[in-house]
Amino acid sequence: MTAELISGTEISKAILEEIKQEVAEMKEKSGKVPGLVTILVGENPASISYVTLKVKTALNLGFKEIQDNQPEDISEEDLLALIDKYNSDDTIHGILVQLPLPEHIDSTLVMEAIHPDKDVDGFHPINVGRLAMKGRDPQFIPAAPYGCMYLLREAEKLVDGFQIEGSNAVVLGRSNIVGMPMALLLIHANATVTVVHSRTKDIPSIVQNADILIGAMGRPEMIKGDMDKHRWEMKCCGA
C-alpha cells in the first residue's frame, strides 16, 4: 500500500487562519478578544522555547496575551495565589502553566487550582473525568491528542478506505498528557483500543494487528521495522 502523507503543518496553518478571522470578527462586534495567560516558573530552556511559541501564536491570532514569568524559587503558596488571581479576572479565558515545575511545587495542586473553564491544557480532574465519561464533554482536551484526533478525522476525508470507527487502534504510552486522553478519544470514536506501555508483554504481536498506531511514548525505537504491519500511523508529541 502506498503511503499517504497528511500534512499537519498545512492543516495547522488553515486552522490558525480561521481562528484569526474569528477573533477579528469578535473584536469588531463586541470589542472583546480571547484572553490567555502563560505562566512560566524558572528558566528551563525547553520550557522557554515552548512558552515563546505559545505567546507568539496567541499574539498573531489577536488574543490578549499576558506572559507572567516567575522566579524558580517562587513558593507554592504564591503560585497558587497567582492562579487564583487569573481565575477571577474576567478578561482572562485561558490559563497555561508550563510544566515541569520546580520540585518544591506540587504540580497536581497547581493543575487543580486552575478553574476547569480556564484549563486550556485540559489537565484538571473535572475535564479529565468528563473526557472519560460518555455524554459528558470536557471544556478543554489536551492539545497533543486532540491534534492527533483532528488529523485522523482529516484522514477519513482524504484517504480512501480509512475509517476510525471499528478500527483496531493501538496507543503506545499511557501518560496523563497524551496516551490516556488519546485512548479515550479513540474509544469515543468507536475504535477498539489497546494501550501499550513499558510493561506490556509481546508488543510486536499487538502492534502487528493495529489498523491505527499512535506513538505517544517518550522512548525511542519502541517500534521496529518488522513490527510495522499496521495500516495507519500517527505520531504524537509527549510521553
CB 82 within 8 A of CB 68: yes
Query: Please, what is the average pLDDT of the chain?
Result: 91
Give SS3 for 80: helix
Q: Would you state the pLDDT for residue 9?
A: 87
What confidence score (pLDDT) does residue 238 get? 43
Q: Cα torsion for 66, 70, 75, 76, to the nearest 10°?
A: 40
Report, as an integer, the average pLDDT of 19-48: 97
* Total-model pTM: 0.87
AA identity, residue 116: P
Closest CA relative to residue 2, chosen from 209, 234, 159, 204: 159
Q: Percentage of residues in the chain with pLDDT exceeding 90?
A: 75
Catalytic residue list: 54, 98, 121
CB atoms within 10 A of CB 105: 21
Maximum alpha-carbon separation in the chain: 58
Q: For position 239, what pLDDT does the model report? A: 38
The band of 227, judged by pLDDT with boundaries at 50, 70 and 90, is low
Of 204 and 38, which is predicted with more confidence? 38
Q: Which fold has domain 143-235?
A: Rossmann fold (3.40.50)
Report the topology of domain 33-132.
Rossmann fold (3.40.50)
Q: What is the spatial distance between Cα 223 and Cα 207, in angstroms, rounded to a whole number? A: 8
Which positions ≥6 away from 32 have C-beta within 8 Å?
Answer: 26
**CB contact set of 47 (below 8 Å; sequence gap of 6+):** 40, 98, 99, 100
Answer whether 33-132 and 143-235 agree in fold.
Answer: yes
Share above pLDDT 70 across residues of the chain, in percent, rounded to a whole number: 89
Domain limits of the chain?
Answer: 33-132, 143-235
Q: 217 falls in which pLDDT band (50, 70, 90)?
A: confident
Reported as a pLDDT band with limits 50, 70 and 90, residue 237 is very low
What would the pLDDT profile of 56-103 be if each residue is shown by its tens digit?
Answer: 999 999 999 999 999 999 999 999 999 999 999 999 999 999 999 999
The pLDDT score that the predictor gives to residue 5 is 75
Long-range own/partner contacts, residues 175-180 (CB < 8 A, 24 or more apart): 175/216, 175/218, 175/238, 175/239, 176/123, 176/128, 177/123, 177/142, 177/144, 177/238, 177/239, 178/142, 178/144, 178/145, 178/216, 178/236, 178/237, 178/238, 178/239, 179/216, 179/217, 179/238, 179/239
